[in-house]
């Protein structure tokens, strides 16, 4: 991997899971990393303290709060003075069977779209100026296999990730050539959440996954890093990291 010394990455929702792993991957590669969180200050600080290198910091900014996002952008401009990579990882969901339409209330549906779709757009809009400076930057939206297969945690979540992928294409066109925009789309990821699943359900999922394993959060983080360091002539792409699940 390339040495990212002097470069700055921002990871939204970086206090746990994929966001925390991605933040650590970029720090290990030499970047200064800013992570945002909505309401998990202690966990975010633990992630910051665990990262190698110096200059990492935490900002409280919910993806659903445009004012907070704009304040975060102003803070990065004043403190770091640059942004090379923006990783839109912050997301909201709740496990609800797709046929249980009554449990997917209007309030929850709106909250999922507000964070996963509008929040992603608002974050890109707020950081656009910083990303376009110098040689240009990269936006990576953390999408999901659910956008393609409609089999995620609930109907609204699947719809939100499909919207995110469509927005990735639109913004890749609109922000070129200074800013590249990609989606990285994990399948089911091996996290604390999935470790609590019924082993039989997990086994059936793995039987239909070509590589026979779930991607780890670190797999996702490395895919994001490669998009920055090696896929330098790629934009508007949806990159799967799913173990070959659609092949099953």
Query: Catalytic residue numbers?
Result: 157
Residue 106's region, left for phi above 0, alpha for psi from -120 to 50, else beta, is alpha
Q: Which two tokens stand for residue 3?
A: 């040495």
Q: How far apart are CA 117 and CA 12, in angstroms?
A: 13
- CB crowding 167-199: b at 16 or more within 10 Å, else e: bbeebbeebeeebbbbbbbbbbbbbeeeeeeee
- Which of 238, 95, 91 minimizes the C-alpha distance to 155? 95
């Amino acid at each position: 991997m390339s040495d990212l010394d002097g470069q700055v990455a921002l990871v939204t929702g970086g206090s746990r899971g994929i966001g925390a792993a991605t933040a650590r991957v970029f720090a290990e590669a030499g970047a200064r990393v800013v992570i945002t969180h909505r309401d998990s200050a202690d966990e975010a600080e633990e992630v910051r303290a665990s990262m190698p290198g110096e200059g990492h910091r935490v900002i409280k900014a919910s993806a659903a709060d445009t004012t907070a996002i704009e304040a975060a952008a102003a803070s990065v401009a004043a403190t770091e003075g640059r942004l090379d990579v923006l990783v839109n990882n912050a997301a909201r969901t709740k496990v609800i069977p797709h046929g249980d339409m009554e449990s997917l209330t209007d309030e929850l549906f709106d909250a999922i779209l507000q964070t996963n779709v509008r929040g992603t757009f608002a974050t890109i809009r707020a950081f656009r100026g910083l990303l376009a400076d110098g040689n240009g930057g990269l936006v990576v939206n953390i999408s999901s296999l659910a956008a393609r297969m409609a089999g995620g945690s609930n109907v609204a979540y699947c719809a939100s990730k499909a919207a995110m992928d469509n927005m990735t294409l639109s913004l890749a066109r609109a922000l070129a050539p200074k800013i590249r925009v990609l989606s990285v789309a994990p399948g089911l990821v091996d996290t604390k959440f999935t470790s609590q699943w019924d082993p039989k359900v997990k086994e059936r999922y793995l039987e239909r996954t070509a590589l026979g394993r779930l991607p780890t959060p670190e797999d996702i983080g490395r895919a994001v890093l490669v998009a920055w360091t090696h896929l330098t002539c790629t934009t508007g792409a949806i990159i799967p990291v799913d173990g070959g699940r659609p092949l099953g």
